[in-house]
Structure 1
Amino acid sequence: MAGRPSNRDERYAQVMQALVRCVARFGLEGASLTQIAAEAGLTRPLIRHHLGNREDMIAALQDHVLHSFAEQTEALIAALPGDAPAAALVEYLFADTTGSSPDMVLAFAALTARAAEDADLRTACRESLLGFEAAIARVLRQDNPQADDHAVNAAAHGIVALYLNVASLAPLDMPQGWTQTAQTIAHKLLEGLDGGS
């Protein structure tokens, strides 16, 4: 008989969600253990136990955010239909019901800001973003086998840029037409791949 599962993993997830929310709101330098504890509804010593010192906290945030992005990308690609996956991808990325979290995008932005002074973090963030772009390019290439690689890569780059812009600015509660314009431009990028252009 298996023992009762520990609540350590559940507690750690709770701490990480609070960390992401605080970094999204206050930045890496502004997110304190006290704020994270209040956001998580836990004590400051328990937060310190899970996150350690500031450098440990940043490393934990990096691991959590980059691992979450990789998992979400894999799940998104796996869920695409066999017919017209590129159009479905654009619809998913710009839909109101998307699973992307503005807090995660803003936490990623905070990490990238710090990456200017941390070569390892810069490499990890760059690889994560380029991995996302490469996954988008694979979908576009699958749906448009006649298109040349340069066109596919350019379209994937544009779609990623549009998506990150929309996701990172979501807290501004931009008008619906603003997001729809980004989605329309992303579809135009797909249309540009039709016919091998």
Structure 2
Amino acid sequence: MKIGLYFGTFNPIHVGHLIIANHMAENADLEQVWLVVTPHNPHKKKETLLDDYHRLQMVHLATEDYPKLKPSDIEFKLSQPNYTVNTLVHLEEKYPDHEFSLIMGEDNLKSLHKWKNYEVLLQNHHIYVYPRLSPDQEDSCLKNHPKVHLIDAPIVEISSTFIRKSIKEGKNIQPLLPSKVWEYIDHNNFYKK
């Protein structure tokens, strides 16, 4: 099975994440997209980052109506700080019949050469890249790599930071969140302080 891995803190997951994940599942040659919730790095103090399991629960709620989208807590079980290359080794051992690819925005592709063992990632995995609006118009030197696939996905400029700030300011941002995620956030009074 061909699986695309879409990593993020998903703090919170919003409709932009779903649009990209679903577009990749429907339009790239992937059978499923796993939304990999990145755990809190114990060495970094991040006041705004919700507990790992709350963020995972929101990804569950957001994806339950999309059969090709699956939440993943695989990185919760790995030692921190963790690197993508280690996650992929772990997944390949656990699911030897699956073929794993990475999903990332153009902005991440530009910095991929700074990732730990990025050559190994490119050697062993395909990378599906969605467009991002960026003031820096410089193209990535890896854009033409045979394992890099530029996917003509919608450009969605919604950020979790904007959502958290808006909730704190008492603004209605319901249209930016899947309804079950909005209800979960509202019920738990998340991001209000």
Q: Calculate the TM-score normalised by the size of structure 1.
A: 0.21
Relative to its length, the structure with more helix (as a share) is 1
User: Which one scores higher on RCO, CA 8 angstroms, separation ≥ 6?
Assistant: 2
Relative to its length, the structure with more strand (as a share) is 2
Q: Calculate the TM-score normalised by the size of structure 2.
A: 0.21
Q: Which structure is larger by alpha-carbon Rg, 1 or 2?
A: 1
